[in-house]
Structure 1
Amino acid sequence: MFNWLFRQNTAINAVVNRFISQPFPAATTLVEHSPFLVLDLELTGLNPRKDHIVSIGWVPIHQQEIVLAQARHYLINSPVSVGQSAIYHGLHDRELKSAHDIADILTELLNQYAGYVFVAHHSKMDEQFLRFACQRCFGKAPRFKFIDTMQIEWQRLLRQGKVVKHDALKLPSCLQRHGLPPMANHHALEDAYSCALLLLSQLKLGGNAMTLGDLYLLSR
């Protein structure tokens, strides 16, 4: 029994350790040469300590092109009821009973996208939920590198001397401002794709000399 537990823990730790061992691109790397993974989560609530992920969608970007063939969307079997959060994401407990286990999806994410810079709109929330989910599943959480398209947009508007209202930073408002297609709000894959379009538009405005370091500063 103890040997089985040791082998299981070793395999679990290996998932996180492989992700940790893969270096991120240097801050001096031009954004056009940086691999990005744009993701979005739908949640049972806003507290990562007690709430859970019910769906995840992601879209890779290679050389400033969205790779739709590698886009993924998964429903997650939550250990708690979705409750009132169903009003926002439209997912109900009955739909999630046979959904994926979060550990399997995190394993795929960490195995395939080590060394990628992650991207989200209001990334602090997504990063916290990913870290807590990894801690629950693997006993430890890796360090992620995140770019926040909401913060980038906020900085861009401030530099233009505009008064930034809260609604102006929501993803649909940002898409409209950049002349991008409207989105069906609160679907993880569609939100991830829309966020990817927004990032590419922001990178284009930033110019060819923009580096990852520049993006990290704008994402603070």
Structure 2
Amino acid sequence: MAWLQRWRQRRQPWQQSKWMALDIETNGLNPEQDAMLSIAWVPIYPPQIALDQSAYYVVNSDTGLNQSAVVHRLSQQDIADGQPLRDVLNAFMTAAEGHCLVAHHVAFDWTVLQKSLRSVGETWRPCGLYCTLQAEKKRLQRRQQAIAQGELTLAQSRSRYGLETFTGHHALHDAIACAELFLAQTYLSNGRHYSSTRSVLKAGR
């Protein structure tokens, strides 16, 4: 009956749906091959971001660290002290049940998440996927605005909505920043007009 729940949720007003901003940090840029180093999520119940329900985990791994780990400010000791991947994913699936996922470049995070789930013999599906990067790209294209290199980063996208600067490359900071951008994008696009969850998801893919 999970499909029926997703079908119903996609047809209700987007403000009544449950959303989950997600950020995954890896040891590289290839989501099919690279390992998850850390993960964070924060629920969104429009217009609120549930910071008290946010979570951040470093994943225990024997994967060698490279420059990506330095960027994410993770040490070999952090990784050694991390939580087992299966435990982290179980915590995520419990928290995210019935939510639509939101991420900046959601295709990357979703691919890493699926690969990680398969590695521990698990499967999970969200209500839908929303990409703040794609939503911003579409908005600029509709305005026939040239998109320079770097214009679609999380920080630059946030700046166009007057959102505060933030410390990036930390999974929890990025997840919260993405949640704020999602609300700014969606409220600006829809205002007080009725919009279904399905139409919002379409805008972010």
For the criterion TM > 0.5, the same-fold answer is yes
Q: 8 Å contact 2:46–2:183 — kept in the other structure? A: no
State the 1:214 CA deviation: 1.6
Deviations 1:110-169 (A, max 9, x none): 12321100100000000000000000012x432332100111111111111211123111
**Residues 125-164 of structure 1: pairs in structure 2 closer than 5 A:** 125-138=108-121, 140-144=122-126, 145-164=128-147
**Residues 1-220 of structure 1: pairs in structure 2 closer than 5 A:** 23-24=5-6, 25-138=8-121, 140-144=122-126, 145-206=128-189, 207-208=191-192, 209-220=194-205
Q: TM-score, normalised by structure 1?
A: 0.85
RMSD: 1.8
Letter in 1 for 2:101: F
Q: 8 Å contact 2:32–2:111 — kept in the other structure? A: no
Give the 3 Å change call, closer, same or farther, for CA 87–98 of structure 1 in structure 2: closer
Structure 1 window deviating more from structure 2 (171-180 vs 55-64): it is 55-64
Q: 8 Å contact 2:69–2:75 — kept in the other structure? A: yes
**Which structure has the larger Rg?**
1
Q: 8 Å contact 1:123–1:148 — kept in the other structure? A: yes
- In structure 2, how many angstroms separate the alpha carbons of the residues matched to 1:29 and 1:155? 23
Q: 8 Å contact 1:132–1:141 — kept in the other structure? A: no
Deviations 1:184-212 (A, max 9, x none): 11000000000011011011112232222
Letter in 2 for 1:79: D
Q: 8 Å contact 2:132–2:178 — kept in the other structure? A: yes
Partner of 1:14: none
Give the 3 Å change call, closer, same or farther, for CA 21–157 of structure 1 in structure 2: closer
Q: 8 Å contact 2:21–2:103 — kept in the other structure? A: yes
Give the percent of matched residue pairs that are identical in Structure 1 and Structure 2. Answer: 30
Can you give the 5+ residue segments of structure 2 that lack an aligned partner in the other structure? none
Q: 8 Å contact 2:24–2:171 — kept in the other structure? A: yes
- In structure 2, how many angstroms separate the alpha carbons of the residues matched to 1:89 and 1:122? 17
Letter in 2 for 1:114: E
Question: How many matched pairs?
Answer: 201
